[in-house]
Structure formats: structure tokens, C-alpha cells
Amino acid sequence: MHMLNIGSCGIDCGECAAYKATQAGDMDKLKNVPDCTVYQCAHEKGVRVCSQCGDYSCGKLEALWKGYSLDVDQMKGNLAKAR
Ligand code: SF4
């Protein structure tokens, strides 16, 4: 997987609800996707992905991962490659 295709939390962009709604230009759907605090935090810290952050992996990221029904180990692997 190309590292530009993962989100700050390590998710494959193709699995991300916000990314999919944005790509489809579906603003109604996008309005119903909760704001991604991890994405915003990474942006504020000036890193592209969380594994490039000195606080990796923080409670905020761990909480996000807990809420996913996706393969978190794969996300962690993606982040390790993107360091
Ligand atoms: S690891 Fe935590 S503190 Fe660092 S950018 Fe990601 S969410 Fe923010």
C-alpha cells in the first residue's frame, strides 16, 4: 500500500467514512461523519501520520482505534511503515 493512502490514524483511506464522502462529493453524508480529532491533532502537530508524532501512541488515538470494527493491527503496521 502506498503510504499516501493511509490516514493519520493508519486507516486505509478507502475504509474512512469521511474520505469516501469527500471523494464522492456527498456533503450530506460528510455532515453526518463525526469530526476526526486525530486527523485535526496530527495537522496541528505538523505530522502527516501519528507514528511521526512524539506522543505516539496517545490516548486519543487508542480511543479511536477502540471504536473501529476494522483491523487495528493492520493500521498499526501501516503507521510503523510510515515512520
Ligand atoms: S499520536 Fe496522538 S497526539 Fe500525536 S498526532 Fe496522533 S492523535 Fe495527536
Who contacts 27 (Cβ-Cβ below 8 Å, separation ≥6)? 21
Q: Tell me: the pLDDT tens digits for 30-46?
A: 888 888 899 999 999 99
Residues with CB under 6 A from ligand 1: 38, 41-42, 45, 47, 50, 53, 55-58, 60-61
Cα-to-centroid distance, 33 and ligand 1 (Å): 20
pLDDT of residue 3: 61
Distance between CA atoms of residues 81 and 83, nearest Å: 6
Instruction: Give the end-to-end CA distance of the chain in Å, rounded to a whole number.
Output: 14
The whole-chain average pLDDT of the chain stands at 91
Q: Where are the domains of the chain?
A: 3-81
Q: Sorting pLDDT into bands at 50, 70 and 90, what band is 2?
A: low
Say if residue 1's pLDDT is above 80.
no
Say if residue 80's pLDDT is above 70.
yes
Q: Tell me: the pLDDT tens digits for 10-31?
A: 999 999 988 899 899 999 998 8
Give the three-class secondary structure for 42: helix
Q: Which atom of ligand 1 is nearest to the CA of 9?
A: 6
Q: Which three cell numbers stand for residue 7?
A: 490516514
pLDDT of residue 40: 93
